[in-house]
Amino acid sequence: MRNRLFVLVLVMGFGKMLLACDCMAISAENSFKKNDAVFIGIAEADADFKTTTMEIPFKVVVGFKGSSEKAVKVYQRTSDCSVSIKKDEAYLIYAGRDRGRVLQTDICRRSKELSARDIVEDLSAMPPQLNPAPVDGK
């Protein structure tokens, strides 16, 4: 009985810490097809995990799909699947439009910090006819 009570208290006390993002792995190719916007961008603010929905502005460096703007706002709900975004860091963002309006992302869409090791698979999955367009305002 004492062991059961200990386990119950442990689970109740640390239950939130035991939760993790639970989403199916998606290939880079499928993620590119399913999302409305794909770009490499520099975060202009940190993700604020104190709110239920975060608005993160990005300076778009290279647009692959869905956005030719120099700056975009991407939203994500605060959850275990949120991307931990830090100001002035580069990210590969896959985002879908919420009911056709705002761009939303999370790690289940494959959004991630830009790193050579992880990005190779994503960039090689882009359609061969795609010509990434640097966004330089000219």
Q: How far is CA 47 from CA 1, 67, 132, in A?
A: 43, 21, 27
Pairwise CA distance, residues 118 & 116, whole Å: 6
Q: What are the residue ranges of helices labelled H in 19-138?
A: 28-34, 116-124
Statement: the pTM of the whole predicted model exceeds 0.75: no
74-94: pLDDT as tens digits:
988 888 888 888 999 999 999
Residue 8 is predicted with a pLDDT of 41
Domains of the chain: 21-134 (2.40.50.120)
Segment 38-46 shows an average pLDDT of 92
